[in-house]
Amino acid sequence: MSESPDVKLYDTTLRDGTQGEGVNFSSVDKIRIAKELDAFGVDYIEGGWPGSNPKDVSFFEQAVDVDWKSAKIAAFGSTRRKDTPVEDDIQVKTLLDAKTPVITFFGKSWRLHVTEILGTTEKENQAMIRDTTRYLKENGREVIYDAEHFFDGYKDCPEHALATLLAAKEGGADWVVLCDTNGGTMPHEVAEITDVVMKKVGLPVGIHTHDDTGVAVANALASIRAGATQIQGTINGYGERTGNCNLTTAIPNLQLKMGHPLVKDISKLAHLSRFVDDLANCEHNVRAPYVGATAFAHKGGMHVNAVQKVAHSFEHIEPRTVGNRQRILVSELSGQSNVLMKAEELGLPIEKGSDEAKAILADLKNLEEQGYEFEAAEGSFELLIRKHLKTYQPFFKLKEYHCTFRRDGANDYQTCSATVKVIVNGEEQYTVAEGDGPVNALDAAMRKALRPSYPQIDEMELEDYKVRIIDSHMGTAAKTRVLILSTDGKDDWGTVGVSYNIIQASWRALVDSIEFFLAKRT
């Protein structure tokens, strides 16, 4: 692979990313994320807008005392106000007070914003950019100028848009960054305009794209190909409206496909993606390229058969390269290859063409016809295999269970209770428990019954509970599928139950979850 220009990574998750709906970080979260980004090898980390809120103030105060390994922390702000000397502008002073080695600020590239939003002249707008750049440079900072709405501004009036970049250059800017702020520019336009800027401005160029048309990553890559050497974006594509350029997609594309050596250990990428999702309290995008749970998941029987023989026949990279893994899904589309590979993955090898393999496949297809799905219920599928291989030993035998719901309208009191009668190690256990709902009550009653024989039961907990109505056209007579996700703090597993009765479906998923855990821990 030929040597490629050195491209710098600029992460703005902590500022631009937090403008996304539902994304929120505490000051502690922001420091933790910044440290992860630093360890991963990001060159620039934009911490926020100093003085805009207490969390950003706290972040910059803490960041000063952190021994950053590779990253430079950047404070973000805007140009001086119109008709105001830069040294008298409070916002610019706040940027310096953050004590970061890098300051990134934005200015207006589009005449529409200059005249209609700022209410000033093109000449004053350029002076605002030039003065702010010069003042920050005089105070010893590396200065990155973000040209807001640059592509819209260029398409409206190339001369004006380029003049704003030249104003930043005259002030001594280290970088000019072309921003597709509205996210409406196409990749071929980004490439053409970046090429013009490279020829006319004579400064290192960065690219900052938004995903309103679904091409933020493509636009960033097009700009890099045209000569830009800094890419700005966010982890998992967080950002305002539909988000920003997703660095978890852009980084592996640049490094693995285009030959730009961005980070030393890209195998940490999937971990970084999930870490940021966890702190943002956002559900992970299972279909995300490279890092999503389904990125290397195979379901169709013919595909799985091919992957079994030659993995890269249906995988564009080795999953471990980015910290992900291959997954074989089992469904009504499965062939024997799916079952065999899944069994091997679970440590339960089965001989091809064996009676067990045929029986498992037949049972699987029959259960899926009834409404079961095992793609996210690996715990239930492993139990199914063990039953066919005669390695399954039940830990208890059900005699009966009962659930009730009580509502006291006068005292505004409500509760669920459950009674469970099971045989455990030859002895009958009859327990009663209350809970917030029927599943919670059944879970509590089962734990009471099992705890004397299996005290490790307290190490597992239910993490998620999902209900899906099957054949919804049947109304209240429709079947219900319940998926339970459980964890022991280290591993997660899913189990599934199906029934016309939601309590029965829940019970089946709950029992599978408990039996799967006990099988692993005894």
Q: Where are the domains of the chain?
A: 8-280, 297-361, 371-386+461-522, 396-453
Which among 516, 466, 444 has a CA at the least distance from the CA of 487? 516
Tell me: pLDDT of 422 over 50: yes
Tell me: pLDDT of 334 over 90: no
Interatomic CA distance for residues 384 and 485, integer angstroms:
17
- As a CATH number, domain 396-453 is 3.30.160
pLDDT-derived band at 476, boundaries 50, 70, 90: low
Which element (helix H / strand E) includes 147? strand 142-148
Mean predicted confidence (pLDDT) in 83-89? 95
Residue 394, token pair as written in the block: 């039940």
Mean predicted confidence (pLDDT) in 438-450? 94
| Per CATH, domain 371-386+461-522 is 3.40.640.10 | no
Interatomic CA distance for residues 42 and 8, integer angstroms:
8
pLDDT in tens, 142-177: 999 999 999 999 999 999 999 999 999 999 999 999
Tell me: pLDDT of 303 over 60: no
Least confident of 94-103, 123-132, 253-262, 436-445: 436-445
Tell me: pLDDT of 336 over 70: no
Q: Which pLDDT belongs to residue 137?
A: 98
Domain 8-280 fold: TIM Barrel (3.20.20)
Tell me: pLDDT of 187 over 70: yes
- Is the CB of residue 33 less than 8 Å from the CB of residue 44? no
According to DSSP, the β-strands at 327-328 and 397-408 are: unpaired
Tell me: pLDDT of 32 over 70: yes
Which among 194, 242, 192, 195 has a CA at the least distance from the CA of 216? 242
Q: 337-361 burial, b if ≥16 CB within 10 A, otherwise e?
A: bbbbbbbeeeeeebeeeeebbeebb
Q: Which residues pair with 178 in a beta bridge?
A: 147, 207
Tell me: pLDDT of 113 over 90: yes
Residue 165, token pair as written in the block: 């970049």
The residue with greater pLDDT, 481 or 310, is 481
Tell me: pLDDT of 326 over 70: no
Q: Which pLDDT belongs to residue 305?
A: 53
Mean pLDDT, the chain, integer = 88
Share of the chain above pLDDT 70, in %: 90
Q: Which pLDDT belongs to residue 414?
A: 83
Tell me: pLDDT of 308 over 60: no
Q: Which pLDDT belongs to residue 1?
A: 38
The residue with greater pLDDT, 138 or 277, is 138
Q: Which pLDDT belongs to residue 13?
A: 97
Q: Does 371-386+461-522 match 396-453 in CATH topology?
A: yes
Mean predicted confidence (pLDDT) in 236-264? 96
Tell me: pLDDT of 473 over 70: no
pLDDT in tens, 190-247: 999 999 999 999 999 999 999 999 999 999 999 999 999 999 999 999 999 999 999 9
Q: Which pLDDT belongs to residue 163?
A: 97
- Is the CB of residue 161 less than 8 Å from the CB of residue 150? yes
Q: Can you say whether the dihedral through the CA atoms of 429, 432, 438, 443 is positive or negative?
A: negative
Residues contacting residue 426 through CB under 8 Å, at least 6 positions apart: none
Q: Any alpha helices (H) in 146-215, and if so which ranges?
A: 150-156, 158-171, 187-201
Interatomic CA distance for residues 103 and 60, integer angstroms:
12
Could you tell me the CA-to-CA distances from 326 to 277, 453, 487, 505 in Å, in that order? 21, 37, 21, 30
Tell me: pLDDT of 436 over 90: no
Q: Any alpha helices (H) in 371-455, and if so which ranges?
A: 378-388, 438-450
Helices 27-40 and 269-280: crossing angle, nearest 10°? 170
Mean predicted confidence (pLDDT) in 127-135? 98
- Predicted TM-score (pTM) of this structure: 0.69
Tell me: pLDDT of 466 over 70: yes
Residue 301, token pair as written in the block: 């029987």
The residue with greater pLDDT, 300 or 10, is 10
- Going through 265-342 in order, the beta strands assigned E by DSSP cover 297-298, 327-328
pLDDT-derived band at 311, boundaries 50, 70, 90: low
